[in-house]
Amino acid sequence: MPIATLNGIRLNYDVTGTGPLVVLVMGTGSPGRVWRTYQVPALVKAGFRVATFDNRGIAPSEESAHGMRIEDLVADTAALIELLGGPAHVVGTSLGARVTQELALARPDLVSRAVMLATTGRPHPLASSLSKGEQALQQQGVKLPPEYAAAIKAMLNLSPATMESDESAQQWLDIFEYSASVTPGPGVLAQMRMDRSRNRLADYARITVPSLVVGFADDRMLPPVFGREVAEAIPGARFVELEKCGHYGYLEQPEAVNRTIIDFLTSVNA
């Protein structure tokens, strides 16, 4: 994967396929390669050129351990689109969805269509409390047993439907247990500290980019009602709620998610 100096930082990115450009923006603490399991192959098969990248905070992109703002991530994404000869369709999940919304507002010239998965436009006490608690654990050097951390992460991020099968549940728990054993880098901690306290719903009334918001029915982190609020705030935006999906719905029900994204990106009337 090439590394370019964009917006004054190192940005690690990858491009696959040919056709109209789609840029995928990942959520907090995760590398861009997560998209490559399901979304990149489906989009390339559908005739798109697909770019994934590691947000600042995720090595080998600039870790920016001193801190960052969502405006920084928006400017990074804009710089990548310009490098790749945009405009582009932009798809983001969770924090990446909020970056997508802000990019559509700030730089509509760079965004052909915007897709936001598992998003929100305002803070919520539960999400804020969870974030503060996770930061406190890190600051105090408290490390939960990996098995327990894995179980908590599964309950927070996955649909009960995903966990019904013993085999599926164990596979996810194994993945989460391994990730829990890895100490977060300084860039990930900086992402976790980002200010998410502003209510941006009123501002989204100025978004003119054709937009799709996808809510995941079993999302405990960002329930679909928050995504519906974003869709109602953006003029003409569509809202779709997908069943049997938690916060990681794009990994739990990839066929449904990919079909929803591709149908929107290829529709004549967005």
Out of 61, 64, 89, 247, pick the active-site residue.
247
Out of 54, 76, 218, 219, pick the active-site residue.
219
SS3 25: strand
* Residue 56 near residue 72, CB atoms below 8 Å: yes
The CA–CA distances, whole Å, from 11 to 63, 78, 140 equal 10, 12, 30
Out of 30, 94, 112, 211, pick the active-site residue.
94
Beta bridge partners of 114: 90, 211
Q: Is 263 a catalytic residue?
A: no
Q: Is 219 a catalytic residue?
A: yes
List of residues 6+ apart from 95 with CB closer than 8 A? 26, 27, 28, 55, 70, 73, 191, 194
Q: Is 174 a catalytic residue?
A: no
* Residue 114 near residue 101, CB atoms below 8 Å: yes
Which residues belong to the active site?
94, 219, 247
